[in-house]
Structure 1
Amino acid sequence: MYQALKPSRSSTLVLRRLNYHVRHWGPEESALPPLVLLHGWMDVSASYQFTVDALQQERRIIAPDWRGFGLSGCAQADHYFFADYLADLDLLLDHHAPGQAVDLVGHSMGGNVAMMYAGVRPERVRRLVNLEGFGLPATQPAQAPARYAQWIAEIKQLHQGDKTLKRYASAADVARRLMKTNPRLAQDKAQWLAQHWARPNAQGQWEILGDPAHKVASAQLFRVDEALALYAQITAPVLAIEAGSDSLGQWWNGRYRLDEYHQRLTHVRDCRTAVVQDAGHMLHHDQPAQVAQCIERFLNEAHAARP
């Protein structure tokens, strides 16, 4: 099994009536700005361990488990609203980095949260790294009736027990599941992640650390015009890192393309892109050293440029 070079420590913060689990690496005090790592959908903060191990500089690192994921509490509801992640992040930073502008890194859903948050609270973000946080395909208002109907139907399915997360006989089975989803994931890393991505229940079955309510579709459509308005308010320099395999095109099958994503990024006043080769959507698992190098080079350039 993978051996972490920089073991994390945990704390719990009562935030908006939820027990929020936060993972920490590095010293409590550092001359460098805090580095905040935001994980993706159906993932956990421990997902960043391999990248953290590859970072060269010692600095304070903070990584929450989003509400309803990992070791954080679940929302007292049967669905989740995306805006809650923005409020959670703001309160988290108020507690762990009061009065400071942080360096923000987000993967997938976490990357989308980071981009939106940086538009809402530009003064709180010094630099931003977006790891495959592409957003969603454009929608039209005419899709709203069907989306609300879908939302209601999926809430009913959840209460009927039709929306559940698969259980596994052992941690080894969880690891095999992770490797099936991501064929590039090495076995030692899969075995390590399985211990953090799931846990055994009272019957000895391993359950994914995610609230099934996350599987309920959003009632609101993704509105590109709103996303672009937020992008335009970002004052921090942005580095958008994507995998060489074009996971966006593979996932959406023509409904949303990489060139469309790149066009959206032109609304960010200071944005550059980078590509990590031989990697898929979980690029921080596939090529953690490359990802760490890209992040660190970007953050250090900014730090050196300031008096």
Structure 2
Amino acid sequence: MKPSRSEYLNIRGLQYHVRHWGDPHAPKLFMVHGWMDISASFQFMVDCLQKEWHVIAPDWRGFGLTERPQADTYWYPDYLADLDALLLHYSPDEAVNLLGHSLGGNVVGLYAGVRPQRIAKLVNLEGFGLPGTKPEDAPGRFAKWLDELLEKPEMRSYPSLDGVIARLQKTNPRLSRERAGFLAAHWAGQNDEGNWEILGDPAHKNTNPLLYRIDEVTACWARISAPVLWVEAAETDIWRWFGDNALMRAEIDRRIAFIPDVRTEIIPDAGHMLHHDQPELLAAAIERFLAE
């Protein structure tokens, strides 16, 4: 494996953990992970990159080794502001190559429309967005959020690292034990009782009380000026968030059409964690795109 190194920064009042791979003088490639994930999740894909890159990957607030804010809810505007501060720190004067997976893909898509001049090329790995909502959903959403605040959320713990490995392989059967072992050691840590807990703030599990307004999202996507590589996994299970698979396909295609300069790529024999399942194919697709 290519070695990585850790750095800690003060970003908007939080101690942020940032993982680096490669020569600091090489071209920069920023990567941001998804929900309940960590920066080390990109290790297998980084190992497959053929060109020398300086890969910079933070743990989002409340994940991995980054500090948790004193908050009940995590908001998309905070992710955008954190990303803006990180890019300003590492690349204040030049547009960047930016990649995001899942939640990270949603964040980078919004950011590229809000700060189009900051992005040279954008790679979106299954950042489809969320199912659309209606105004009449608001009362129930607020009520559910208030009810959840009455009970402190908790993360499941495991008596050993083997339990974490088994959990990862159950979620993704394509994951080898070797890769699951690497991820588990970064994805979880031991608590005071000696059990292993996922390094994610339990507050991430709470309902977001704000509605997901897809028209606002696509308005941001329509302002993206950088070329975009949109990557999907052939056997993704993301459809379960949308309901009917056929309806999901039509809706996702409708959303993609808002991006002015976009090309799509399907990675075969891969699920939603496509950077774990097919890192070689994914790395090759990304480098072809960045070389154009």
TM over 0.5: yes
Q: Distance in 2 between matches of 1:260 and 1:156?
A: 35
Aligned to 1:138: 132
CA contact (8 A) 2:227 2:261 kept: yes
* Secondary structure at the counterpart of residue 164 of structure 1: coil
* Secondary structure at the counterpart of residue 267 of structure 1: coil
Q: Distance in 2 between matches of 1:252 and 1:86?
A: 24
How many aligned residue pairs are there? Answer: 291
Q: Distance in 1 between matches of 2:163 and 2:289?
A: 38
Taking structure 1 as the reference length, what is the TM-score of the superposition? 0.93
CA contact (8 A) 1:238 1:271 kept: yes
Deviation at 1:219, TM superposition (A): 1.1
Q: Is residue 56 of structure 1 aligned with residue 50 of structure 2?
A: yes
Deviation at 1:252, TM superposition (A): 3.0
Cα root mean square deviation, aligned: 1.1
Alignment of 1:150-299 (within 5 A): 150-158=144-152, 163-254=153-244, 257-299=248-290
Deviation at 1:246, TM superposition (A): 3.7
Amino acid at match of 2:275: H
CA contact (8 A) 1:151 1:217 kept: yes
CA contact (8 A) 1:169 1:206 kept: yes
Aligned to 1:304: none
* Secondary structure at the counterpart of residue 157 of structure 1: coil
Deviation at 1:259, TM superposition (A): 2.2
Deviation at 1:251, TM superposition (A): 4.1
| Structure 1 stretches of 4+ moved >4 Å | none
Aligned to 1:10: 6
Amino acid at match of 1:245: E
Q: Distance in 2 between matches of 1:182 and 1:126?
A: 33
Q: Structure 2, unaligned stretches of length 5 or more?
A: none
Aligned to 2:24: 28
Amino acid at match of 2:151: Q
Q: Is residue 118 of structure 1 aligned with residue 109 of structure 2?
A: no
Q: Structure 1, unaligned stretches of length 5 or more?
A: 302-307
Deviation at 1:78, TM superposition (A): 1.6
Q: Distance in 1 between matches of 2:70 and 2:264?
A: 38
Amino acid at match of 1:208: I
Q: Distance in 2 between matches of 1:182 and 1:223?
A: 30
- Percent identity over the alignment is 54
Amino acid at match of 2:102: S
